């Protein structure tokens, strides 16, 4: 009988030790999972936004601009600061002469992924919208960075075109 009671105490102690080890191991794993879930969620949203932007680019190539705009809108709702959705939406808005093109280009240019080509497209959009003071500042910045920019070649023609249409009015 004494032997049975020592086995009972031993199994109780072993079970208690196992439960303690389980909780000591489980709690840090649970905390790590909770801390990693937020960045993983944002990463998944950014991936989905990039895939939607790619789909929107296909719609643009097919000249289905309404579907492209809706798809870019959905991508920007998922990732409002995503480079690819912002750049695509800005290009589409510029192509369709929408007023929000300049605001979109402003957001694209603020991103760290922005290229000099993006800055050139922003300057061209400013010229297209007849925002000459802002376009002059953008072109000056482009010339400081790279004197061989494409916008400087098309800028005089855009200004002449705008002034001739203004004279006709």
Domain definitions of the chain by residue range: 117-169
Q: How far is Cα 52 from Cα 109, in angstroms, rounded to an integer?
A: 21
Instruction: Tell me whether residue 101 is exposed, middle or buried, using C-beta atoms within 10 angstroms of its C-beta: 0 to 12, 13 to 18, 19 or more.
Output: buried
Q: How far is Cα 160 from Cα 168, in angstroms, rounded to an integer?
A: 12
Residue 36 pLDDT:
74
Residue 3 pLDDT:
55
Residue 56 pLDDT:
94
Residue 153 pLDDT:
54
Cβ-contact 143, 149 below 8 angstroms = yes
Cβ-contact 48, 41 below 8 angstroms = no
Instruction: Tell me whether residue 157 is exposed, middle or buried, using C-beta atoms within 10 angstroms of its C-beta: 0 to 12, 13 to 18, 19 or more.
Output: exposed
Closest alpha carbon to 56 in 74, 68, 70: 68
Q: How far is Cα 74 from Cα 97, in angstroms, rounded to an integer?
A: 21
pLDDT tens per residue, range 131-163: 888 888 888 888 888 777 665 555 555 554 554
Residues of the chain with pLDDT under 50: 1, 160, 163-169
Residue 158 pLDDT:
52
Residue 83 pLDDT:
92
Closest alpha carbon to 84 in 113, 116, 123: 113
Contacts of 78 by beta carbon, 8 Å cutoff, 6+ apart: 45, 46, 48, 49, 52, 85
Q: How far is Cα 111 from Cα 102, in angstroms, rounded to an integer?
A: 15
């Amino acid at each position: 009988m004494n032997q049975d009671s020592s086995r009972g105490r031993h199994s109780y102690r072993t079970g208690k030790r196992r439960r303690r080890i389980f909780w000591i191991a489980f709690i840090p794993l649970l905390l790590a999972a909770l801390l990693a879930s937020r960045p993983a969620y944002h990463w998944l949203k950014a991936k989905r936004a990039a895939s939607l932007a790619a789909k929107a680019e296909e719609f643009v190539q097919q000249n289905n601009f309404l579907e492209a705009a809706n798809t870019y809108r959905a991508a920007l709702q998922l990732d409002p600061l995503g480079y690819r959705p912002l750049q695509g939406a800005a290009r589409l808005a510029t192509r369709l002469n929408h007023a929000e093109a300049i605001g979109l280009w402003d957001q694209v240019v603020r991103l760290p992924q922005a290229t000099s080509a993006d800055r050139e497209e922003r300057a061209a959009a400013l010229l297209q919208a007849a925002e000459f003071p802002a376009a002059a500042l953008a072109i000056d910045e482009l010339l400081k960075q790279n004197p061989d920019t494409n916008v400087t070649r098309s800028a005089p023609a855009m200004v002449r075109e705008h002034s001739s249409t203004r004279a006709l009015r």
